[in-house]
Amino acid sequence: MVERNFEEVSEIREWVRREPEGKHLSIEETAHVVCCLRDIVLWYNGGLSGYNLDPFMVAVVKNDFVRACGEADDVNGRVLPFYAKFLYNNLLGDWRERAEKV
């Protein structure tokens, strides 16, 4: 696991485009996923309280797969494993502990 410090939306967008899953997304879908990942990064870095995350994002950071599936829109439902990959590869393992407080 490698922690990355994404400071810009453009860095998140580039990560999405580099990953195999991101290559199959339309421009609109990419923008949607990048916004969701930006919210995760903001939350993780303390820029958003857990109450500002939408129900889908709360389920994702709480590692609640069933709830995330139920809350997901069409795009997020298809790329749910992509969010898990992002969390696992780009945030320290303490995101799970932090999510318990959401």
Domain ranges of the chain: 9-99
Between CA 29 and CA 34 the distance in angstroms is: 8
Provide the whole-model pTM.
0.85
Summarize pLDDT for 29-49 with one digit per residue, the tens: 999 999 999 989 888 888 766
pLDDT above 80 for 67: yes
Q: Of 61, 64, 35, which Cα lies nearest the Cα of 50?
A: 61
Give the pair of three-digit tokens for residue 77: 């439902």
